[in-house]
């Protein structure tokens, strides 16, 4: 909404029109669009795999705080780097934590060491496109 209001006020239809305020507003929006969808998707998958309310709420709160701090830091004419840093750290923490949680959940569902070895074999075979023998 802020971008639309600013575009209307500055009468800029496309791009940033060479105006530094519009360029900064675009940066704020683009920072959100880069990381929020992937993080929210991984949190959604994590939530759909079972009851993990505390983890899901924590990850979403981390993402929200990170994006709000990052947007505040970037949107200022004189950038406040501590807000940008905090925003980036919180956003990456939410993204990495959700990815690691999904990986741990997946690996915990494998019942034995042999099943893990079989899954690893399949992953490497698919990635390399060739048959590699892991078994001695």
What's the confidence (pLDDT) of residue 136?
Answer: 46
DSSP codes of every residue in 12-66: --SS-TT-HHHHHHHHHHHHHHHHHHHHHHHHHHHHHTS--HHHHHHHHHHHHHH
Question: Where do the domains of the chain lie?
Answer: 2-110
Q: How high is the mean pLDDT in each 10-residue block of the chain (136 residues)?
A: 65 67 69 86 88 89 91 78 89 92 80 68 71 54
């Amino acid at each position: 909404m802020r971008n639309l209001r600013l575009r209307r006020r500055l009468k800029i239809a496309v791009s940033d029109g060479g105006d530094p305020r519009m360029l900064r507003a675009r940066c704020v929006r683009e920072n959100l669009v880069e990381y929020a969808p992937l993080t929210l998707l991984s949190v959604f998958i994590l939530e759909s795999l079972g009851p993990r309310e505390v983890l899901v709420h924590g990850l979403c709160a981390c993402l929200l705080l990170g994006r709000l701090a990052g947007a505040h830091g970037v949107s200022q004419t004189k950038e406040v780097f501590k807000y940008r840093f905090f925003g980036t750290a919180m956003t990456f923490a939410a993204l990495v934590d959700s990815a690691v949680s999904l990986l741990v959940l997946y690996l915990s569902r494998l019942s034995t060491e042999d099943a893990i070895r079989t899954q690893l074999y399949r992953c490497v075979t698919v990635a390399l496109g060739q048959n590699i023998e892991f078994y001695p």
